[in-house]
Amino acid sequence: MYIETKKNIETVLPVIPTYIGYTTSQGKTVRPKGAERNLVIWVTEGEGYFVCENERRLLTKGQGFFVRKGVPHSYEKQAEPFSTMWVSFLRGEELLDYYKIKDSFFFDTPAFIGQTTMELMDFCEHTSGATLKSSHTMVWLCELLEFVFKKE
């Protein structure tokens, strides 16, 4: 699902959700110049190879990958099925810097991520307010980063 926000408000929002979704048949994705947005993606079924910064990892169900915008990366299935879920967003640099996040990292997903992502997707789909979409995405991202990095 693509999430649209008004251009004039984007400059004040801390995080701007752009795409939230899932697929039961993830295709091969190669981004030699990186993506135009930050990406959190994780495996919900099967396994696939994720490559970033000269590191290639086989991720299975419950494992994920984060990459900042503009960072070259790729991913592809190892075998069928290969299902993924993702959230992409613009901005958020201050939060990522607070957690000392470099260009990418791999992680084990929290048990709540599937449910909270579906709730975020539903919220963004049925809410017109850009500030509300931003705040809910910020909460989602903070919950994930707190789980992964356990920062006080």
Q: Per residue in 2-44, pLDDT tens?
A: 565 555 566 788 999 999 999 999 889 999 999 999 999 999 9
Classify 54 in phi/psi space as left (phi over 0), alpha (psi -120 to 50) or beta.
Answer: left
pLDDT of residue 4: 59
pLDDT digits (tens, 9 = 90+) for 87-119: 999 999 999 999 999 999 999 999 999 999 999
Domains of the chain and any CATH numbers = 15-149 (2.60.120.280)
Separation CA 129–CA 19 (nearest Å)? 16
Amino acid identity at 127? T
